[in-house]
Chains A and B, each alone.
Chain A
């Protein structure tokens, strides 16, 4: 899939980072596929990095895995559920790699500043903040696009996770559901609002995906979504250039 994604991103002229997880620690069921494990998984990621010449990112759910993850990956990711765990944030900071920090579904965007400060306190100032949806009651996520400018107030770039945002967490008993039909709508909305990056999980056979089968985007739709995202992004920059940066009713 890395090769297919690379060709698409080259055609659309969007720089990209490959992401896979070697141990998914927040599956809904004890029987769900967890991944290949630390050693095997990182070897595969390292091979992808070498073979395709692309930067890679992976998340880690145990502070003890931080060091090994940072040695192999160009960027390390802190899972949304763990976004306020001091031990994970410390381990991520100590890798000295840029950190992809996802906003927990339970967190307000302004409280992500606390997590940012924990990372900074450990000497790392390279952070990307991502919105992946916010719980609206049980088993339902919604996207408040205000999350993006609010998190950007930290001074760090922001990202929108389009595929996890349409997840219906554990809505199917022991598996999460998802409403993939809304991915393009949310991508356009987030990019129009203003993001520095997009995050999407894609698969060439979603029905047989071993994880997030109900939320991954079929790779056949990737190019059309990226082309729209790029067009909206360029339009936004054009508008900002024409009318100036957003500065409406800002507090003095």
Chain B
């Protein structure tokens, strides 16, 4: 399928802004992260430090895997800092990268979300697969 002019679209044109997905402080507990993920209806939360630098991400899949691995009671699991259970070196993308590259990367890595960071590793947005594919296909939101 040809995607024509959308071939040149950039990540920054489609990414979700910071107030549209869960961005949590490094000292937030897991329960708060899960709540934030539920509210945004996204299966990911990005964890940042005080300077908004991306420290890690936690996804539905990470929590699912941890549930099978962690043997502590839920009440202890929930009060752990979310960062403890996060992926500390997540795959990220730059706002200036092409959307096509981002979508290919998501396909290759079997992931649905890409945190968008600038050259200083500051979190600037989140690219979610669904709107990214729609934009590539030229389907209006």
Q: Is A28 an interface residue (CB 8 A)?
A: no
Known: A251-B69, A251-B70. A110 touches B76 (CB 8 A): yes
Assembled-state Cα–Cα distance A108/B84 (Å): 19
Q: Is A111 an interface residue (CB 8 A)?
A: yes
Please tell me if the beta carbons of B76 and A108 are within 8 angstroms of each other in the complex: yes
Assembled-state Cα–Cα distance A150/B76 (Å): 10
A-chain residues with CB within 8 Å of residue B29 when the two chains form the complex: 113
Which residue of B69, B70, B79 contacts A110 across the interface (Cβ within 8 Å)? B79
What is the total number of residues of chain A having a CB less than 8 Å from a CB of chain B? 8
Please tell me if the beta carbons of A108 and B70 are within 8 angstroms of each other in the complex: no
Please tell me if the beta carbons of A111 and B79 are within 8 angstroms of each other in the complex: yes
A-chain residues with CB within 8 Å of residue B75 when the two chains form the complex: 108, 110-111
A-chain residues with CB within 8 Å of residue B84 when the two chains form the complex: 251
B76 (CB) vs chain A CBs: closest residue: A110
Taking CB atoms and an 8 Å cut-off, the chain B residues in 37-71 that contact chain A are 69-70
B-chain residues with CB within 8 Å of residue A114 when the two chains form the complex: 79
Please tell me if the beta carbons of B70 and A113 are within 8 angstroms of each other in the complex: no
Assembled-state Cα–Cα distance A36/B79 (Å): 40
Contact with B along A103-141 (1 / 0, CB 8 A): 000001011011001000000000000000000000000
B-chain residues with CB within 8 Å of residue A150 when the two chains form the complex: 76
A-chain residues with CB within 8 Å of residue B80 when the two chains form the complex: 110
How far is the CB of B116 from the nearest CB of chain A, in Å?
Answer: 26
B-chain residues with CB within 8 Å of residue A110 when the two chains form the complex: 72, 75-76, 79-80
Assembled-state Cα–Cα distance A55/B9 (Å): 68
B-chain residues with CB within 8 Å of residue A113 when the two chains form the complex: 29, 79
Question: Which of A108, A117, A150, A251 has the most CB atoms of chain B within a 10 A radius of its CB?
Answer: A251
Contact with A along B74-86 (1 / 0, CB 8 A): 0110011000100
How far is the CB of B75 from the nearest CB of chain A, in Å?
Answer: 6
How far is the CB of B57 from the nearest CB of chain A, in Å?
Answer: 16
List residues of A whose CB falls within 8 A of some B CB. 108, 110-111, 113-114, 117, 150, 251
- Can you report 15 A-B residue pairs in the complex whose CB atoms are below 8 A from each other? A108-B73, A108-B75, A108-B76, A110-B72, A110-B75, A110-B76, A110-B79, A111-B79, A113-B29, A113-B79, A117-B27, A150-B76, A251-B69, A251-B70, A251-B84
